[in-house]
Structures are given as structure tokens and as C-alpha cells.
Amino acid sequence: MKWITRERPKIDRLACPWLIRRFIDASAEIIYVPENQVLDKAKELDAVPFDIPGVEYSHYEDRCTFDYFLEKYRLTEPALQTMALIVRGADTDDHSLAAQSAGLWAISHGMSFNISDDQELLEKAMVLYDGLYSWAKHLQKQKHTTEPTEQLFLQVYHKYLQEKKENQQKVPAWALHLKEIIQDQIDTNLALNLKEISEALDVHPAYVSRVFSKYFDNLSFGEYIRKLRIEKALSLLHTSGYSLAEVAYLTGFSDQSHFTRIFRQHMGQSPSEYRKNLLKK
């Protein structure tokens, strides 16, 4: 028996041929043609049209063509009913119907993008839907992480998450104090020296340097200071009439050229360009 539908299939026009060949007619011929030729070619080739408006095998209300095939041929197997929800969710963009709908859509759309020949695409999709059917029939209750190795990986992952959470919650007192010192010195434009600051904290500078990024936005001491200085510079550029040389001085840069170079690294443009753009707004 011949079945005909629109070219470039994605979901229904692959799922339905799979259903036809596996449960209705194993030798069925599936034909794909441009949409405006489906009905004429159906008459010419004595083929049954499907998944186009105005024919029997099509969408009805919130159900897709796959649903209609199941109803028409009284295919009530639970695995097929499970697949129907997945197919319907993928075909109608209602991924809330089944957790697997979004994945089926993504894979099918990607396959269609990669494979330009519709018959080749159908053959690949037959394997895809065979796998989905086997999962729906035999494997729904199985989880990937039931295997011993996967359980071990899962334990490592959860331990990492727990340690990360604990580390985030337990910021040492010296790190909190250091943040205050840095902010105070940025605000007053004082020189920032990690060795001197570490001594004031009574923490060895080598240790502070090694773990600094852990508590300061994943940045080294120097990177963090430059970030704060750039933030202060941005504030001054927005709210003051200071010259660029004055902004450079007030934010602790050695000179205007040093300020310009670091500003460009962070912002992708020079301070003068940034200020000009501000004035245009």
C-alpha cells in the first residue's frame, strides 16, 4: 500500500510511517512530495494522503496524525499510547505533555537539518522510533544512574555540590575583613599592597594570594582591584565632569595611558569613546 505526505518531515511524518510499517503494513511505500502536489499525486499513484489538512489521516482538535492512526487501527498497546503523548507534545510544541517531547523535537529537527534526502531521513528515523518504542515498552522505570559506575559518578557530583555550597556559606572572617579594607582603600584612592594588607589581617600573604579568587569572584588580587577601579571610573564618568586624567588619578591608575589601556581591556572601548557615547544618549 502507498502512503503520501508533505516533503521535509520532522515529527508526525516520520512517526506515522514508522507506525504504519511496524504495526499496519510492513511493506508500505512512503512517498514525500511538495505540499501542493500531495492530493494530485495521491490520485495519480493511488496512495493514501496523510498529515495534511482536509484528509482523513490528519490532526483533530488537540491530537496529531499519529493519534488518529492509533484510533483508526485500534492500536491500544500501552507503549504506543506513551509514544503518542511524546509525539503529540513534540509535534504541537506542547512539551509539557511528556518529558521526552522536547528531546524528540530537538533530535528530529537536527536530523532533518543534517539529512536532505527524505527517504534517507525516514530510514534513520525508523531506528530512532524503534529505540523510543523499546524504551516505552521495556525501560521506562530504568534510570541511567542505576549502574554502579554511574552511581559513583553521581555520588562524586553530589559531594562536589555539597562542598561548593558549604564553601560559599562559610566565608572566613579574614576574607570579609579583606573585602572591607579593599573597598575602603579604593574609595580613598590609597595604594593597595597585598603584603601589607595580609599583615594587617594576620594571614600569610602567600595563602591569601593562593585562595583569594575563591572568595572574590574567581579573580586574582590584581584582577579584582582593577575591576573595582574600573567600576569606580564608570561611576565618575557617569556622574562627574572630571577630565580623564583626573578620573585616572582618582581611581588609582599610574597615569591616563595606563587607565585607558585597562579600561579598553574591560569595556572594549577607550574612556573617551565611552564618554562620547554617554553624551549621545
Contact criterion met (CB below 8 Å) for 85 and 104: no
Using one digit for the tens of pLDDT, what is the confidence trace for 5-62?
999 999 999 999 999 999 999 999 999 999 999 999 999 999 999 999 999 999 999 9
The residue whose grid cell reads 487501527 is 73
What distance in Å separates the CA atoms of residue 101 and residue 99, rounded to the nearest whole number? Answer: 6
Q: Of 36, 35, 51, 43, whose CA–CA distance to 2 is shortest?
A: 43
Q: Can you tell me the distance from the alpha carbon of 211 to that of 271, in angstroms, rounded to the nearest whole number?
A: 32
> What tens digit of pLDDT does each residue of 103-118 get?
999 999 999 999 999 9
Write down the domain spans for the chain: 2-139, 173-280
> What pLDDT digit, counting tens, does each position of 138-171 carry?
998 877 666 677 777 777 777 777 776 666 556 6
Class of the CATH-defined domain 173-280: mainly alpha
Provide the grid cell at 9: 518531515
* Rg, Å, the chain Cα set: 32
216 Cβ partners below 8 Å, 6+ apart? Answer: 175, 179, 224
Q: How many angstroms separate the CA atoms of 244 and 241, rounded?
A: 9
Spatial contact of 91 and 66, defined as CB atoms under 8 Å apart:
yes
